[in-house]
Amino acid sequence: MKCLKYKLIIGALSLQSSLTGIGRYTYEIANLLKNDTILDTSYYYGYYSKKLIDPNFINSKPYTIKSLVLKNQKIKKIIRKLINFSSKILSPQFDLYWEPNFIPLDGVKAKKLITTVHDFSFMLYKEFHPKERIEYYEKFFFKNVIKSDFIITGSNYSKQEIIEKLDFSEDKIRVIYHGINHDVFKVHENNEVDFELPSEFILCVGSIEPRKNLKGLLKAYSLLDENLKNKYKLVLVGFSGWENKEIMTLINENKNSIFYLGFLSDEELAKVYNRASCFVFPSFYEGFGLPPLEAMACGTPVVASRASSIPEVCLDTVEYFNPNDIDEISEKISLVLNDKDLQSKMIERGLKRASEFSWQKSADEHLKLFKEVLGI
């Protein structure tokens, strides 16, 4: 007897560029669901496809659709209109549409809709986003997301925000934590890399943009004792982002002490985590925040912002600071770097906490919800 399959469409526009944040989340869950026996899965990239994009291919491309239009707002608006139009005229009938990136498209024809809402930074911190993005979210987010049969979010913190800001039933919101790829993000014996790295360093991972509070970190680093600054350089990893002119200027003016590596593959990043003396996550706001967990999984002590969902995810494994208090950021970095016993305790607690998160566990929870919504 042939097994009945349900047609699932996954919004995959975030897979059109190198994977960070939402793209990483989308790929990891989609990849683990693609061979499920009850799902006949398709992906929407601006066109419909049965093939899940290989992130290694995307990461190796010097230019992608997104990178070509990233800084041209007029082209972005045109592209978005074309995407919405093509989703409508080309859409087959699906049983379930999962949109992992905030705003479900109007044109996708599906009996049921599940949307992942990661956070409300576009509403609470408009200064952290380009004007065009805010306009797009204000126009489409609220009217589209309310059509969802269920909303997924990555933390209880974000669930509470959804309850407060959306007229949406609490029992239709499901918290599913993100995961870590423990085959990559782990303690490695061989940490050799083919690019320049200082022998001892403080590490920060995140796009060079206002929300990540890198300007605050740079100021806090400048306040460190001279002996610490001489011993520990500062290494930054991540896309150049936007609204970053001042930050990039500071980096370029301090090339002897600040190393900017840009985007790295997961394998390269894991080795950098392993080699770091401590990891700092100074973000003002996160719906979840993967980098601290990745650092913990690599055996690196973490100093992090006491903001939004970060304490929920990291619990008592890290040293916290107020992201608006430059002095406290500097003090907590100094505290960890100067105390080897504290580092050992943090590493032990961090490894244990990181082990509780996996993409397989997250994917299983997504599948469970999909079946619930489909009534199977």
Give residue limits of the domains in the chain.
6-179+358-374, 201-354
**What end-to-end distance do the CA atoms of the chain give, in Å?**
17
Q: What is the mean pLDDT of residues 318-347?
A: 98
Q: What is the mean pLDDT of residues 95-100?
A: 98
Half-sphere exposure of 359 (CA within 13 A, CB side): 18
CB 119 within 8 A of CB 161: yes
The full DSSP string for 110-121 is: EEEEEEE----H
- Classified by CATH at the fold level, domain 6-179+358-374 comes out as Rossmann fold (3.40.50)
pTM of the model: 0.91
| Predicted local distance difference test score (pLDDT) of residue 62 | 41
**14-53 pLDDT tens trace:** 998 777 789 999 999 999 999 899 999 999 998 999 999 9
pLDDT band for 174, please (50, 70, 90 cuts). Answer: very high
Dihedral angle at the C-alpha atoms of 8, 14, 20, 25, nearest 10 degrees? -10
CATH topology agreement for domains 6-179+358-374 and 201-354: yes
Mean pLDDT score across all residues of the chain = 91
Q: What is the mean pLDDT of residues 128-144?
A: 92
Alpha-helical (H) ranges within 146-205 are: 156-165
| Predicted local distance difference test score (pLDDT) of residue 241 | 66
Angstrom distance (rounded) from CA 283 to CA 289: 9
Share above pLDDT 70 across residues of the chain, in percent, rounded to a whole number: 89
pLDDT band for 65, please (50, 70, 90 cuts). Answer: very low
Angstrom distance (rounded) from CA 16 to CA 6: 25
According to CATH, the superfamily of the domain at 201-354 is: Glycogen Phosphorylase B; (3.40.50.2000)
**What percentage of the chain's residues is helix, strand, coil (to nearest 5)?**
45, 15, 40
Mean pLDDT check: name the lowest of 72-76, 225-229, 356-360.
72-76
